[in-house]
Amino acid sequence: MAAQGPGNRFPQALLLLSLAVLARPPLPAVAASEPPPAALRAGHAASSLPAAAAAPRTRYLLYDVNPPEGFNLRRDVYIRVASLLKTLRKSENWVLVLPPWGHLYHWQSPDILQVRIPWSEFFDIPSLNRNIPVIEYEQFLAESGGPFIEQIYVLQGYAEGWKEGTWEEKIDERPCIDQLMYSKDKHGYYRGWFWGYEETRGLNASCLSVQGSASIVAPILLKNTSAQSVMLDRAENLLHDHYGGKDYWNTRRSMVFAKHLRVVGDEFRKKYLQSTDEADRTQYKEDWTQMKVKMATALGGPYLGVHLRRRDFIWGHREDVPSLQGAVKKIHSLLEMLKLEKVFVATDAVEEEIELLKKLLPEMVRFEPSLEELELYKDGGLAVIDQWICAHARYFIGTSVSTFSFRILEEREILGFDPKTTYNRFCGETEKNCEQPTHWKIVY
């Protein structure tokens, strides 16, 4: 049988369709600075148009942190937000949008552009995805139809403060205590920092007073708003759901450093510290879900690992931070006790202090990048390399209450080091009670 052309089969349908197109009024012109139609705003892919088949829609969770907070506290906030996402996913299909890195206080290298940095520069994205679904911000822009965030919630405390007595978890929509870090443009949309993406706009913004763990926000996101893209600003105001538990450690273990940074650290260990995974008993599995190491099985490389926090810690005259001479005295004592000849030092000390350290501590080894390496890895990448090398040392000693040191303790716990070689810190000369870090045992 000969095939029939569409002109033979559907002449009336085509005629009606042509008339409908001719009769349809032209779409209004949209200026480049104006938002797209509602169906194409953030969270609305083509599949969410009315004609599409009904499918579970994807909702996007974004977040940001108080600007002065550093790299390693932000890593801790990620763990809290990941826990919230797991709670949300019990009811709906949520994805976490990773907030681009940039403009951090400790990233002070001059002449290097350090904004709009994706997480893949520092972390292994497939590893993160083995724990929760995550996407980079650029992917969110591509999926969601443009640089629009439908709902911004700024998290804050309660104006009346915390009343002594029984701890109560609570959350309420309240007037903003501080002036919003967003301003409305001529179209009524909220403009702000947005991780350096100046073209991003918020459609709505309000404040939530919160006192409690991360998942306390879940009912608000599931019931009080239908927005497909929701941003939680000042997310550091949320506490951990289950600090130190299995869920915490799963998320922490998933935060695998980017392989290119680990390779740089491993090559440095081998060349300058005679340290390899085979000799040090620190074999690493690329799939963190398959890595369960018994405590005290790791030996570590033949060097002492040190994190010596300076700058703002000494400017604040903290009594639990030693003088440079006091730190060097402790390092020499440890080298003698451990019968080691080299010490790897990660520090934010100013140049004059570095020069003094070189004189007082000739055994010191540091990762000193070339300008090309600095531009390639950036300050965040250099911090990761320093932490990776410290994590593989025979023995580690860090700085009191430093999140940089704390992340190293966790990395060593994952690698299977003896707690006695890990949970150590310097003491200040005038400190009366030099309490050592608590051992948070890994949970599988």
Of the listed ranges 18-32, 181-195, 299-313, 372-386, the least confidently predicted one is: 18-32
Residue 317 confidence (pLDDT): 60
Residue 10 confidence (pLDDT): 36
Amino acid at 221: L
Span 283-299, average pLDDT: 96
- Between CA 50 and CA 138 the distance in angstroms is 26
Q: What angle do CA 210, 255, 386 make, to 5 degrees?
A: 110
Whether the per-residue pLDDT at 29 is higher than 50: the answer is: no
Is the separation of the CB atoms in 409 and 437 below 8 Å? Answer: yes
Going by C-alpha positions, the residue among 440, 37, 14, 44 that lies closest to residue 242 is 440
Average pLDDT of the chain?
Answer: 88
First to last CA, the chain: 67
Q: How many residues does the chain have?
A: 444
Q: What angle do CA 401, 406, 409 make, to 5 degrees?
A: 140
* DSSP symbol at 2: P
Q: SS3 of 171, please?
A: strand
Is the separation of the CB atoms in 113 and 232 below 8 Å? Answer: no
Backbone angles phi, psi at 437, to 5 degrees: -60, 145
pLDDT confidence of 28, banded at 50, 70, 90?
very low
The residues that are catalytic are 69
Whether the per-residue pLDDT at 23 is higher than 70: the answer is: no
Is the separation of the CB atoms in 407 and 75 below 8 Å? Answer: yes
Residue 315 confidence (pLDDT): 73
Span 269-276, average pLDDT: 98
Residue 314 confidence (pLDDT): 76
pLDDT confidence of 55, banded at 50, 70, 90?
low
Whether the per-residue pLDDT at 39 is higher than 70: the answer is: no
Is the separation of the CB atoms in 366 and 326 below 8 Å? Answer: no
Q: What residue ranges in 147-200 does DSSP mark as E strands?
A: 148-156, 170-174, 183-184, 190-191
pLDDT confidence of 104, banded at 50, 70, 90?
confident
Going by C-alpha positions, the residue among 313, 254, 248 that lies closest to residue 70 is 313
pLDDT confidence of 112, banded at 50, 70, 90?
confident
Q: SS3 of 113, please?
A: coil
Backbone angles phi, psi at 95, to 5 degrees: -125, 140
